[in-house]
Amino acid sequence: MKIREVSKLIPSIEAVYVVPFTETEIEFQGNEKPWTELLDYSINKTIFAQLPFDHPLYILYSSGTTGLPKSIVHGAGGCLLKHLTEHRYHSDINPGDRVFYFTTCGWMMWNWLVSSLASGATIILYDGAPTFPDTGRMWELIDDHQITHFGTSPKYLGAVNKAGYSPKKNNQLNSLKAILSTGSPLPGNLFSWIYEEVAYVPVMSIAGGTDLAGCFMGGNPNLPVYSEELQCKSLGMNTLAYDAAGNSVECQKGELVCATPFPSMPIYFWKDYDGEIYHGAYFEKFPGVWTHGDFIEITERGGVIVYGRSDTVLNPGGVRIGTSEIYRPVEEMSEIVDSLVVAQSWGNDVRIVLFVVLNKGIILDDELISKIKATIRSDATTRHIPSRILEIQDVPRTISGKKVEKAVLQTIKGERVENISALANPESLSIIADLREELKK
């Protein structure tokens, strides 16, 4: 196990407690002990050290592919406060609730999930593919374990929708209190699908990041749900949208910023001794103001619409277009499984290039290309229509499931993708590379 290798390199680790699979026998080695021993107060006489509020708790790694990952050190007190407000107030997690979030240990949602224990909730852990042995596996867990809060991603919800599976027709789902979604913007058709085919419970689309180990915007059990909107700004977060001049704007697209400090700001970056990397990551664009790198709109209701990463914004003819404005209509099409869009430099401007993954048996012919363009035009504007539409077999994604538009753009340009280890499917970039000649046309 990799944890054994890591443990040997850190002499200060006195014990490693192992949470086993239910039917797996483990041969404990060295300082490894069973999880049950930690919970048995008759055996475990550990006296926990009293530590400062901002004592280092986690080192989390950003998942970007365009440079070395940021080694983000989070403090114990700040993370706990942030998670408690998000769990108790925003998500309505209470003692006795049972919380599930489909996540890997490498994504910050794992840390977010584990903190649910501080609210007196039980957490449900799952290791494996979400659609094995069939599409209904995750939804069966809700009934099997009486899950109250079910957390997932738009990618998964979209896949279940396209598979034609109806969770409410195949399961009871009586325990469910809320559905949470993050990782990318939740499109409007999936809001509707959840209410029609899953359950009439709050749909909480939430957004934040590894950098804060929490959310800038999220759910609110006391507010109505509007399609494509995150219900409100998170408590303690002075979340604003800035225009290019640094003015706070509403009802128009802008850069996501947090104008004042918040509890779960990183305490430092690992080995960033003078703080230069930390400062450069968040505070250069608007001095003294945290700039997160997302493209958002704050609505007249106080909700928030997320359009995608601001560093992947498409800008044909000087018009700023968020990637989600194209993903939303395209991925609602039955012919399309997945998609990725970039702005390719073209002459003195840029052009929109759309890559699509097609359903089995579907061919990307002129008829389908015309249909895709017509769908985008109908849902958005003529400026959103791609100049090129090309087929690929798989969309490059990080291990946490996020699309990597910047890495694809680097590949198109023939540039080196530095942190390719952050990709779950690095081989997918080779398909993009094979299309370079085609993209010169």
pLDDT in tens, 369-382: 999 999 999 999 99
* Measured distance CA(240)–CA(201) in Å, rounded: 28
pLDDT in tens, 296-329: 999 999 999 999 988 888 989 888 899 999 999 9
> Tell me, which fold does domain 315-440 have in CATH?
GMP Synthetase; Chain A, domain 3 (3.30.300)
User: What pLDDT is recorded for position 42?
Assistant: 79
Going 134 to 137 to 140 to 144, the CA torsion angle's sign is: positive
pLDDT of 140 > 80? The answer is: yes
Domain positions in the chain are 2-39, 91-259+290-309, 315-440
pLDDT of 276 > 90? The answer is: yes
Chain-centroid distance of CA 118 in Å reads 23
User: What pLDDT is recorded for position 65?
Assistant: 53
Beta pairing, strands 232-233 & 253-258: unpaired
Give the Å distances, CA to CA, from 122 to 18, 38, 60, 114, 327.
Answer: 18, 17, 24, 9, 35
Mean pLDDT in residue range 2-24: 85
pTM recorded for the entire structure: 0.87
pLDDT of 147 > 90? The answer is: yes
pLDDT of 337 > 70? The answer is: yes
> Tell me, which fold does domain 91-259+290-309 have in CATH?
Rossmann fold (3.40.50)
pLDDT in tens, 174-206: 999 999 999 989 999 999 999 999 999 999 999
Mean pLDDT in residue range 149-164: 95
Buried/exposed 260-297: b ≥16 CB within 10 Å, e otherwise: eebbbbbbbbeebeeeebbeebbeebbeebbbbbbbbb
